[in-house]
Amino acid sequence: MGRQIKIFDTTLRDGEQSPGCSMNLKEKIQMAKQLELMKVDVIEAGFAIASQGDFTSVSEIAKNVKECTVASLSRALTKDIDCAWEAVKYAKRPRIHTFIATSDVHMKYKLKMKPEEVLEQATNMVKHAKAYCEDIEFSAEDASRSNLEFLYRIIENVISAGATVVNIPDTVGYTTPDEYYHIIKSIKENVPNIHKAEISVHCHNDLGMAVANTLAAARAGATQLECTVNGIGERAGNAALEEIVMAINTRKDFYNLSCNVDTKQIIRSSTLLSSITGVKVQPNKAIVGVNAFAHESGIHQHGVLQERSTYEIMTPESVGLSENKMVLGKHSGRHAFEDRLKVLGYNLEKEELDYAFTQFKDLADKKKVVYNRDIEAIVTKNAVEIPETYELKRFIINSGNAITATASIVLKYMDQEIEEVSTGDGPVDAAFKAIEKNIGMDFTLDDYVLQSVTEGKDAQGEAIVKIRKDDEIYKGRGLSTDVVEASIKAYLSAVNKMFHERALLEREEIAS
């Protein structure tokens, strides 16, 4: 079985701090439920004091997640810890995660505190947190660049004060596997009460060694590994959950470790996160990249056909991929559709199922074959939909290489249909400008991505749009077999998200 390792997922906290990866409340809850389904041990739901939105999301995740520990990050400050507790107190298994920097450079230039002052504050704040709940994690920020003797002292003190987990983060991705192994091993040998707490590690990928460092720490005795789906996070990102888990599973002979993660949920988790954030993983990304289980060279293909283990050290099925194509079409019935959803791991409520089936039938009229990824795209889109302030009714596009592209867009707004026409540099640009004229607002287009969901000439096009208004970025997503329609839907989705989030903010301000 091997030594048991806990997986601490910080996708919703450190991961969301990655530029362009912000999520709204509904998206965070959806992602948290998927992490719960994947059976991670701890979900770090956010940094409660950072904003009212963060507080609300931590609180709602704490209420909705039942099978995992739910943690909120806090600085080693009374107000942060109080706020963190107010947010996580609804959790079945709450945790307060507090931190303070311990490296000389951070203490001198960021904190402007002497080591003894940091030691005292860390100890007092862990005591303060302990008054709220049993499970307290303490992080020594920038531990990998800290003086080891000081690190031993502060760890011993916070454990005595009640810390149940001590985290030794490589905050700036500076360390190496051998060095990190030595740090963890030295802590185990030089902190007298270390047996009373779990050792956790949290690695960043600035030098591309986050996963290697994390696994080295696990070999040295760390029992909790902190990571994110797809490795998203500040700067170059965090250690990737999927790489850590599959390394443990694939090399049991070497690591002699085990964890509770359901590996068959890995691809679904990765796909969901990419769909929510609009940030795709590179094709050659380990485990979850589209090429991770692809074989193009003749030598590789021949080897895999003879014996899969020649070039595959893990099976596609082990991470949730299926080699079966969904052969569903317009003649397929509701039972077949519902059965395929269950095979894919989705259990929808009746209302959600009715809506998804309607969209499936609409798509089946446009495509000969509907694949698994088409179905997943429909379900994912429905799960993150927000109220439509503006609804697309119809559009007409005139475009060609000898005429100026013109778009006529008809939107429904408060039971009225409004129509505007605009020209542009191509059909998509013209459509976006017509939408802006309808709404009476100008936006900056920050990003626009168009890709196919499945193979074939009749594949659905998925458009992802990021627009900027008043220094805030809003993401939208659209699906259609018509790429122009997908683009229009994505732009409207981003616009509707802006109105929805502004309305929520206004209600929060009025309530406060």
- Among 226-235, 272-281, 404-413, the minimum mean pLDDT is found in 272-281
Phi, psi of 103 (to 5 degrees): -80, 155
pLDDT number for residue 328: 66
Give me the residue label for tokens 């192994």.
181
Q: Pick from 367, 397, 491: which is nearest to 435 by CA?
A: 491
Tens-place pLDDT, residues 483-500: 999 999 999 999 998 998
345 vs 108, more confident: 108
d(CA 450, CA 118): 50
Q: How many residues does the chain have?
A: 512
DSSP state of 111: I
Question: Do the beta carbons of residue 274 and residue 230 sit within 8 Å?
Answer: yes
pLDDT grade for 378, boundaries at 50, 70 and 90: confident
pLDDT grade for 307, boundaries at 50, 70 and 90: low
Q: Could you state, in order of their start, the residue ranges of all structural domains in the chain?
A: 3-254, 334-383, 391-511
End-to-end CA distance of the chain: 52
Q: DSSP for 364-402, please give it.
A: HTT-S-B-HHHHHHHHHHHHT----SSEEEEEEEEEETT
- Among 56-65, 84-93, 155-164, 328-337, the minimum mean pLDDT is found in 328-337
- Among 118-122, 156-160, 449-453, the minimum mean pLDDT is found in 449-453
Question: Across the chain, what does the average pLDDT equal?
Answer: 90
pLDDT higher than threshold 90 for residue 323: no
Give domain 3-254's CATH architecture.
Alpha-Beta Barrel (3.20)
Buried b (16+ CB within 10 A) or exposed e, 464-501: bbbbeeeeebbbbbbbbbebbbbbbbbbbbbbbbbbbb
pLDDT number for residue 381: 65
Task: Take residue 355 and report the two structure tokens written for it.
Answer: 């809506």
SS3 call for 237: coil
pLDDT number for residue 343: 66
Q: Pick from 91, 121, 118: which is nearest to 103 by CA?
A: 118
Tens-place pLDDT, residues 448-473: 999 887 666 767 888 989 999 998 88
Q: Pick from 167, 165, 90: which is nearest to 134 by CA?
A: 165
Phi, psi of 158 (to 5 degrees): -70, -30
pLDDT number for residue 300: 45
SS3 call for 62: helix
Spatial neighbors of 29 by CB under 8 A, at least 6 apart, are: 57, 60, 61, 64
Question: Do the beta carbons of residue 378 and residue 359 sit within 8 Å?
Answer: yes
pLDDT higher than threshold 70 for residue 345: no
Task: Return the CATH number of the domain spanning residue range 391-511.
Answer: 3.30.160.270
pLDDT number for residue 225: 98
Average pLDDT over residues 420-428: 95
